[in-house]
Structure 1
Amino acid sequence: MDLELRHLRTLCVIADAGSVTKAATILGVSQPALTAQLQRVERELGGRVFVRDRSGMNPTPLGQYILTRAHGILLAMEELRRNAARQLPSEKAIIRVGGIAGPVSVGLADRLSDELPNAEVRLQTEYSPRLLWDLMLADRLDAAAIVDYPGFSLRMPATLMAETIAVEPVFVAMCEQHRLADRDEIELADLADEPWALTPPDGAGWPDCFLTACEQAGFTPRVLHTVSDAGPIREMVATRRAVSPCQAVFAAGDGVLVKPLAGDPIQMRHLLACRRDGPLAAAFDLLLRLAREAYWAYAARRPQYQAWLRGQDSAGRQQAMTAVEAAGTGGRWGAH
């Protein structure tokens, strides 16, 4: 097997993630497939690159040598790619936007295209917020709409700026025939005996924040299914095979109810991040406004979320409902 750039990139991701499981999520491959690839690379190199201990996957002396040079090679190749692209004639400026696939990224890209008709806006969605950080740091993206979780916040590199788009509660999706279906909100502890379906780790604090909330509620969730796609999770919920934590903007219907959790024990924060030296830095306030517009326009189409918003304290209710109403009427929402 000949070593390729993708192999070097894989080694760097494993080193940064600290575990093969987390690295597999970031790279979008299965853990067994990544383990097999690592073993092939180590055979080609003639020795172990990593050893596993209580703190995770740590480089061996050979690994330190390889990783140091791999980072240099990857940076050199990225610089070559970037400088080569700048030599090509282009009729339009290219704006590269990334995001978690969800209520913000597509709406933001659409709105930015309308605001910048002389630019070509390109959108790239990823599952892992940490991967989006890395793509911005590598100058592969100019800005991204990502998420993190209170208590598990991402540490922002000095080369990026970030602001909050919205803080969204995590709700629970359950079957319409569930024994708790008639409640307006659900105590997390009342779901202690339920089978759960979860999405896999995203490198930014999920599902760690969920597991911590369950521990504080006095139980360890019985996770039977780990599925990355919302479609199969919806089917499992509708057929009473599992309940699942979900975003407040998750769509109800087709046998699925979406209920708030009492006391809002789990929250997620939508963030807009931008390169300080990128083409969007000077327009960051505009970008933030468009991202908030996109989020609240989506939220305005979710009756269960709007009902929850109306039930919040007066200050929070006024702020949130003003945002929803503005988005619903095409108005612009300013400060968070």
Structure 2
Amino acid sequence: MYEAEHLQAFGGLPAVDFQSKDDPADRPAADDVAWRISVEPYGDDDRARPWEQEFADFLDAVDPSGVRALIIGQWGEAYEENSAVPIGLVIAAAGRLTSLEAVFVGDLEAEQAEITWIEQSDVTALLAAFPALTEFGARGGTDLVFPPVKHDRLRALTIQAGGLPVQVVRGVLDSELPALERLDLWLGVSAYGGDTDVADLAPLLSGTRFPRLHHLGLRNSEVQNEIAAAVASAPVVARLKTLDLSNGTLGDEGAAALLEGQPLTHLDTLDLHHHFLSEAMAERVRSALEPHGVHVDLSERNEPWDNRGAEGRYTAVSE
């Protein structure tokens, strides 16, 4: 099992940590990178300071009017302090962050906090405050709130969780996002609050939502076989370029359903990495799709824990 790691890039830009003590001459231009603002709440060094102060120093040190991508990293003790404070501070600076196009909330890696320890809040306040955003992401499902929103320019939405609450999924699917091209949801496991089932995905799979969608990720799920079976006949698939069912418990049952359903030969990519397929089934998938030019990712083949068969399968990211 691997853990969520720091973003290496975001908004089409390399991710760079802002540090107030850096020599200004060594800093990249404001619009050349995705700036990660993060503090260390546990140590005695210069980074053991409030996120509010680090963000204020950032706004003074880097021309905020040029910032295109912002990553909210660790803002405090993640399991005690939720994301409302950093979100509120970014919103308060909206008049200065006039070029902002991409925001990610909760870019913490496992050494800082397990994904289920990250205390989130209503992240849609950022969408309301920044109507020019084209990309938005969040990590952590605990106390995550995502009521239905209307946003005319958002093209990419990612929510990463060890367990994604169904109310969040419903909020996303009830949102008006006419420009949305990429949707990536980590559904997670029930033990950590992932209570979405296949029926909750019906509005999305029907193809009636998000008319410009061409990349769909329904990932990191303990019901990956059931999702694959539903996707196999889902109208939305016909307009996809990329279908991502990775990081979950997919086995031969789910892969067989995909092959027996509608043609997938129009896809550019079928991503199934971190799976539990037999070698024979993996070869069947490759043989059915790769001759048609589909890139199939079947890396990270796993064996169930303790030889328990389907009951021993596990998602890539849970706690």
Same fold? TM cut 0.5: no
The two structures have a TM-score, normalised by structure 1, of: 0.24
Larger Rg: 1
Q: Structure 1 or 2: larger strand share? A: 1
